[in-house]
Every structure is written in structure tokens, then in C-alpha cells.
Amino acid sequence: MATQRKAEITPVPPLILIVGDGPLDLSWVYSLADDRTCQVETGCSGYAAILRLERLPTPDLVFLDAEMPGMDSLETLRQLRLRQPSLRVVMLTSAHDPQEVVRAVHLGAEDCLLKPCTKESIGKLLQWGVQQTAGGEGRLPELVEVLADGSTFVASSPAMRKLRALVGEVAATDIPVLCTGESGTGKEVIARLLHLLSRRNHHPFLKVNCAALPGELLESELFGYEQGAFTGAVRPKPGKFELCNKGTILLDELAEMPPQLQAKLLHVLQDGEFTRLGGRARIKTDVRVVAATNVDIFAALASNRLREDLYYRLSAILLEVPPLRERREEIPALLRHFLVKYGGKAGLPSRRPSAAMMDFAVLYDWPGNVREMENFAKRYLALGERALADGNGSYAWQRTIHAVSPTGEEDRNRFPNLKAHINGVKQDAESTIIRRTLEQTNWNRKEAARILQVSYKTLLGKLRDYALDEPQAGNTIASLAAQNADQG
């Protein structure tokens, strides 16, 4: 009997559509695409890109140059996303208008790269396109930047990559910035990255914690004082705004600054000058101000804790750092960084993260965000796997690990093994996330797959695995619209 040959499936290379004014401007993208065996098509205008979507196959990735003749690039982006909501578009922008990046993100741009783009950044995006075509998980390529002070900026999630692109745009300006987010999310890292990417990076970067000092001491810390300004002022002292001239100053916990001092800060932002405590001479300063706070901005404004005029002065550029639980893609890279950073130092041994530890880290909500993770990494280096089990009960579900019966053997019936427990928790979490996303999209499976960054086929498989069925809500307008959108 003749042996049947197994059919060979040749993977289809990803299709890249490059939209820009003239092929020479984006020749470096072509060369990278050729190196990675991608199919490349071009369009010289927004109209050409829209017409291209009317025929198959649909591009896997679109590079859209922000500077094109004819149709505006943002309008092109809007039209492309309107016709193909799942289309992945990367904007290539120059450093002229930071608000352009904000608008592009709101219109659904997958990423925004600052021109001239590096080959590494384009290469990673192309590699990601290959993984998408092969049916990968749909995660963006990981970006890790280690700053001069040893802190690290990690971007694997769409939210953090968009934030990184916005920081790159804003860095080229001198506009004040307000950075918001929960405690420990990395607002100081954002401020340092902003300074590093700016023209001020050869000048000082200074941080002032507004919550650490009472009002009088904070004023002298910021603006300095003259001799005799108060008891003990035996000689004049410059403040941070003088010492940081031409550089960047981070005002952390801005909402803790007394209102009268907020008024003085507002004058500095408006006029670029101030007076020392106890002095009369006007001192000019050229400082980029980055303010940070973890409070509810609108609650602080309503209670007059934060001056409204100061808020509007600072919020021309608002950078919101999401909590770690909303960007779990960054957890493995951050954890590895901290283990390398502290391993072998301060008496701590070097350790590699175990599978159990990494599973725990991805599942845990990290209420203290990156700061809590940094401390956990030190604890893991010191205690190893015991770091998952002992302590004050923060990791309560880990208390069943390594439980031992009086005979000295593990009671496997009463205490499940770690891997099985983690798998159960992971499946429960995944099922919950999928159901919530479907509810938010009125059970539009295609839209849910786009939000979850998985293929439509993968989502259908998960629905079967977890027996997730759409609730029978009758022929309501919402359910009918969701069914029509799902079928379209």
C-alpha cells in the first residue's frame, strides 16, 4: 500500500502596506521588510490606502506616514479603522505636534513611532506581524529601556507603547506635564524618560516630594532663601528652581502642596521668574516642570485641594500611567529586570524566576504596583519559593503550598499541588475576563477578539472550552445589532 504523504502547509508571509509620499522616504522600511520575507505594498496617499482595503487580502500591518498630501493622515486613519476595525495601523510621526499622537491613539492607532524610526523598532513590529499571521497570541513586541539611574521603562501592552510614543512626542517641547496614576505605577520613571529624551538631558533632573515637607520648608526648598529670612538662615541658599535651571524638575505629590504655594508655582510657570524667601530680587529660571499625583484630580479640584488654574496650566499634556494589573504583559519583563538588578547585591543570591513564581506574578493584582513588585523581587531572591507562601498573608491563596501532614508526606487530597492550583486560578481569571469583554461589546465576538488581542478562531475555542454562551436576552435592539456586527 502506498504511503500517503502529509500535506505541507506553506506559511503565508505577512502583508505590509506602506502609505507615504514617495517610496524614497520609506526605503528603509522596504529593506527591513525584504529581509524578513514580508509582502510589501505601497500607497502614495490616504485615498489609495482606502481603495486598497476594497480588495483582498487585507493587510496585516499598515505603516501610515503622518505627513502626506491630500487627505489628512488622521482622517485616513479614521476611514481605515471605520472600514476595517481590526486593522492594525502604526503611525510614523515627526516631533511637531504632541496632540497629534493623542488624537491618533484615540482613533485606534496600534502604535506611534517617532521619525526617524530605528531599525530595531521597525524590526520588532515586523516580527510581531509575522507572529500575527502565524496565529500568535497577538502581543506587541516588548520594549525595555534602562535609564541612567537604573530605573526601567517596559512597554509590552498597547497602553504603555502608546504612552511611550506620547512621551517621545512631548519630550521635544517645553510644555509642562501632569502625570497621573496610582502610587507605585512608575510616574517618576516617566518623568525621567521625558527628561532623557528632551533637549535638556545634559542639564539637571531634580525631584521634590511635596508631601515630605511642611509648607514653609517646601517653599524654601523650591525657591531658596536670603540671609536672615528666618531664624537659622545665616547664609543665602538657592532653591531647586535655581539649581535646576535649563533642566527638568519633578514635583511629586503635587496635590499635597499648600494652596498659597501653588499660587507661587503658577506665577513661575507663567512668568519664568520668582523671588527667594525673604528676598526682593526677581530671579529668572528656565525649567521644564513635570508634576505627578496619585489622587483623584476632579475630587481634589472640587475640594480646593488643587487650584483649578494650576491644573489647567499643567494639564495641557496629561500622561496617565495605568496600574500594573491593567498591563500584565509587562510583569514578566519587569520581574526579570528586578531579579537581575538586585541578584548578587546587598548579600542577596542570584536566582532565576521559577515557573510557579512567574505564574503567581502574572495572576497577582499588585495593589502596590511596580514598587511592590520590586520589593517582592528582593524577597524572592532572599527566600526563594518560600516567598510565595510565608509573610503576612498578602498572597492568601498560596497558604496551601507545601503543606505537610503529620507523617511528613504531602496530603495531596487536602492540599492541591501548586501547578494544578495555578492552572485553576488562571482559567477562572481568563474566563472572567473574556465574559466581561463580551458583555462590554454586547457579545460582538469579533470586537471582543480585537480588544483581547487574540484571533477570532482562538476566542471561539475559548468560548467552547469555558462553555460561555450569550445570555438569551430576546430580540432587543442591542442583541440584534451585536449579532449583525458579529456576522459582518
What CATH number is given to the structural domain containing 240? Answer: 3.40.50.300
Within-domain flag for 409: no
Long-range contacts of 138-144 (CB under 8 A, 24+ apart): 138/453, 138/454, 138/455, 139/329, 139/453, 140/110, 140/111, 140/329, 142/329, 142/333, 144/333, 144/337
Same domain? 78 vs 23: yes
CB atoms inside a 10 Å sphere around CB 332: 16
Within-domain flag for 28: yes
Q: Which of 283, 300, 322 is the last residue of a domain?
A: 322
Within-domain flag for 159: no
Rounded to 5°, angle at Cα 151 from 150 and 156: 130
Per the structure, the count of domains in the chain is 4
Cβ–Cβ under 8 Å, residues 203 and 196: no
Q: Which three cell numbers stand for residue 203?
A: 542639564
Same domain? 33 vs 82: yes
DSSP string, 106-171: HTT-SEEEESSPPHHHHHHHHHHHHHHHTT---PPPPEEEE-TTS-EEEE-SHHHHHHHHHHHHHT
> Residue 165: what are its φ and ψ, rounded to 5°?
-65, -40
Positive or negative, the CA dihedral 102, 105, 111, 116 is: negative
Within-domain flag for 344: yes
Same domain? 130 vs 35: yes
Same domain? 367 vs 315: no
Give the integer Cα–Cα distance in Å for 79 and 102. Answer: 17
Same domain? 172 vs 318: yes
Within-domain flag for 420: no
List all residues 6 or more positions away from 149 whose beta carbon is below 8 Å from its beta carbon: 192
Same domain? 247 vs 299: yes
| Tens of each residue's pLDDT in the chain, 488 residues | 444 333 333 445 667 788 876 544 455 555 555 555 567 777 778 888 888 887 767 787 888 887 777 788 888 888 888 777 778 888 887 755 666 777 777 777 877 777 766 666 676 666 665 555 544 444 445 567 777 777 788 887 778 888 888 888 888 888 999 999 999 999 999 999 999 888 898 999 999 999 988 888 898 999 988 888 788 888 889 999 999 999 999 999 999 999 889 999 999 999 999 888 888 889 999 999 999 999 999 899 999 999 999 999 998 889 999 999 988 888 888 888 888 888 888 888 888 888 778 888 888 889 999 999 999 999 999 988 888 764 444 443 343 333 333 343 434 343 344 445 455 556 667 777 888 888 888 888 888 888 887 888 888 888 877 777 766 544 333 444 444 445 44
Comparing C-alpha atoms, which of 126, 131, 125, 74 is closest to residue 103? 74
Within-domain flag for 6: no
Comparing C-alpha atoms, which of 300, 281, 278, 303 is closest to residue 291? 300
List all residues 6 or more positions away from 379 whose beta carbon is below 8 Å from its beta carbon: 387, 391
Q: Which of 293, 322, 351 is the last residue of a domain?
A: 322
Same domain? 195 vs 284: yes
Same domain? 310 vs 347: no
Same domain? 294 vs 348: no
Query: Domain residues for 372?
Result: 325-402
Within-domain flag for 3: no
Same domain? 20 vs 96: yes
| C-alpha 337 chain-centroid distance | 16
Q: Which three cell numbers stand for residue 349?
A: 543570591
What CATH number is given to the structural domain containing 117? Answer: 3.40.50.2300
Give the integer Cα–Cα distance in Å for 232 and 64. Answer: 62
Same domain? 273 vs 187: yes
Give the integer Cα–Cα distance in Å for 459 and 256. Answer: 46
> Residue 93: what are its φ and ψ, rounded to 5°?
-120, 160
Cβ–Cβ under 8 Å, residues 30 and 40: yes
DSSP 396: G
Same domain? 169 vs 270: yes
Q: Which helix (H) or strand (E) holds 232?
A: none
Question: Edge-to-edge strand order for the sheet containing 205-209?
Answer: 205-209, 248-252, 288-293, 177-180, 317-320
Give the integer Cα–Cα distance in Å for 383 and 377. Answer: 10
Within-domain flag for 236: yes
Give the integer Cα–Cα distance in Å for 125 and 121. Answer: 6
Comparing C-alpha atoms, which of 435, 413, 431 is closest to residue 423? 431
CB atoms inside a 10 Å sphere around CB 230: 11
- Is the pTM higher than 0.75? The answer reads no
